[in-house]
Chains A and B, each alone.
Chain A
Amino acid sequence: MTRRVLLSAFEREGDVLAATEACRKAGLKIVDVFTPYAVHGLDHAAGLAPSRLPWVCFALGLAGAAFKVWFEFWTSASSWPINVGGKPWNSLPAFVPVTFEVMVLFAGVSTVIAFLFVARLFPGRRAAVIDPAVTDDRFVLVVEQTDAAFDVAAVGRMLAGFGAVAIEERVEGGRR
Chain B
Amino acid sequence: MIAVDHAFHPPKRLLNRIGAIALAAAAVVTAGVVLAPDRTWPAVLTIGLFLTGMGLAGVFFVALQYATGSGWSIVVRRVGEALAALLGTGAVVMVVALFAAPRLYCWWGGAVAGEPLRGFKAAWLSPAFFVVRAIVYFALWLAFAAAIVRESRLQDADADPAHSRRNVRLSIAFIAVFAFTVWLASSDWIMSLDPDWSSTIFGVYNFAGLFSGGLAALVVFVVWLRRLGPRGVGPLHAVVTQEHLHDLGKLLFAFSTFWMYIWFSQYMLIWYANIPEEASYFAVRLHGLWQPLVILDVVLNWVVPFLALLPRAAKRNPGVLAKVALAVLVGRWLDLYLMVTPHFQPGAPVFGVWELAAAVLAASVAVLAVLRTLTRAPMVPIGDPLLAESLRHHQ
Contacts and interface: CB of A to CB of B under 8 A. Distances in A.
Given A40-B395, A41-B394, A93 B312 contact: no
B268 A97 contact: yes
Interface residues of B, number: 11
A54 interface: yes
Nearest to B267: A93
Interface in B58-101: none
Main secondary structure of the interface of B (DSSP, over half): helix
B312 A50 contact: yes
Chain A: number of interface residues, binned into ranges: 10 to 19
Nearest to B243: A40
Contact of A93 (B268, B311, B394): B268
Contacts of A41: 394
B271 interface: yes
A86 to B, nearest CB: 8
Nearest to B311: A54
A123 interface: no
Interface string A12-54: 0000000000000000000000000000110000000010001
Given A40-B394, A40-B395, A41-B394, A93 B271 contact: yes
B353 interface: no
Contacts of A96: 264, 268
Contacts of B274: 85
B111 interface: no
Interface of B: 264, 267-268, 271-272, 274, 310-312, 394-395
Q: 7 shortest A-B CB distances, which residue pairs?
A: A40-B394, A93-B268, A93-B271, A41-B394, A96-B264, A96-B268, A94-B272
Given A40-B394, A50-B312, 11 more contacts: A40-B395, A54-B312, A85-B272, A85-B274, A87-B272, A93-B268, A93-B271, A94-B268, A96-B264, A96-B268, A97-B268
Interface of A: 40-41, 50, 54, 58, 85, 87, 93-94, 96-97
11 contacts: A40-B394, A40-B395, A85-B274, A93-B267, A93-B268, A93-B271, A93-B272, A94-B268, A96-B264, A96-B268, A97-B268
